[in-house]
Amino acid sequence: MERNENIRSAATAEPHATARKRGAVPQGSAWALVTGAGSGIGRCYALRLAALGYNLAIAGDRAEPLDGVREELAAAGCPRVQVVVTDLARIEAAQELYDGLCGAGIAPDVVVNNAGIFSFCDVLSTPSERIERIVLLHDMTTTQLCRLYAAQMIARGVRGHILNMSSYSQWMPFPGLALYGASKAYLRTFSVAFAKEVADRGIRVTASCPAGVATDLYGLTPRWQRIGQRLGVLISADSCARRGLHALWRGRRSVVPDWWNRAWIPLCKLLPLRAIRPLRRFTMRFQK
């Protein structure tokens, strides 16, 4: 029986006990790993998992923002925090991260593969090295981490949870998004199929596919992020993390936060090139 079901059973048996939130564990009794945790959605995942009782292993490619998140987690009462500074856009990155955490005695029950690189640029204008890094980070590293940690969870006999951050852009085959959208489409397809492979072994896998999120990923200034949220075209990073975890605890294989984004998917797929051309001319100035 899953941990959250045990918690609900215990609460029923003891009427005066405080009911735990979905996904919660006794304080400090389990570990969670979040990649790309130095800012944005990854930071919010880390804070929310800490609030549910988890120790946190946070990974990213820059020490300073990770140290800042570590201080936030400590202030929030997270019992233990392990910081791993590493470049995850390398073939050997997943194995190195896994081996390093195993050496530190850390075996997470929850893995959030959040690290990502945004790219809005035509393929012909994208350097080969950047293409390689995006595909390695989004697809190779995530796939290997899923394989390594799912096998470890099964060997340990725990009911594990893995959340992979895909993107709404997979349904937007627009100029400038060919590389980014395709790499995220792989993540969703892989996650849904992998979830079916490991479901009977007690592992839940979810792909979160948010549309616009108010983070620094797209290069938007804080002012434009606030405007986007007021207009309803962007959701907050914390809202994205909350909805992703909610879907993970419920065992959903794929989720698109907010119903209106789900409603637009058929239109995104069918939008003709003549309708995209004016948008392309406007957005060319933002290519990076």
Q: What is the CATH number of the domain that holds 226?
A: 3.40.50.720
Q: What is the pLDDT along the chain (288 residues), one digit of tens a residue?
A: 444 444 333 333 433 334 568 999 999 999 999 999 998 999 999 999 999 999 999 999 999 999 999 999 999 999 999 999 999 999 999 999 999 999 999 999 999 999 998 887 788 989 999 999 999 999 999 999 999 999 999 999 999 999 999 987 776 667 777 898 899 999 999 999 999 999 999 999 999 998 766 566 666 667 766 766 666 666 778 888 999 999 999 999 998 876 555 555 555 555 555 656 666 655 555 545
Question: What's the domain range around 258?
Answer: 26-286
The answer to whether 268 touches 177, Cβ cutoff 8 Å, is no
- Find the catalytic residue in 184, 186, 218, 269: 184
140 occurs within a structural domain: yes
133 occurs within a structural domain: yes
Q: Which residues contact 207 (CB under 8 A, 6 or more apart)?
A: 163, 164, 165, 166, 187, 188, 191, 192, 253, 254, 255
Domain count, the chain: 1
Q: What is the pTM of this model?
A: 0.83
151 occurs within a structural domain: yes
8 occurs within a structural domain: no
Task: Answer yes or no: 54 catalytic.
Answer: no
282 occurs within a structural domain: yes
Task: Answer yes or no: 98 catalytic.
Answer: no
217 occurs within a structural domain: yes
- Residue type at 205? V
105 CB neighbour count, 10 Å cutoff: 8
Give the single-character DSSP code of 83.
E
- Find the catalytic residue in 45, 54, 168, 180: 180
Half-sphere exposure (CA, 13 Å, Cβ side) for 12? 6
98 occurs within a structural domain: yes
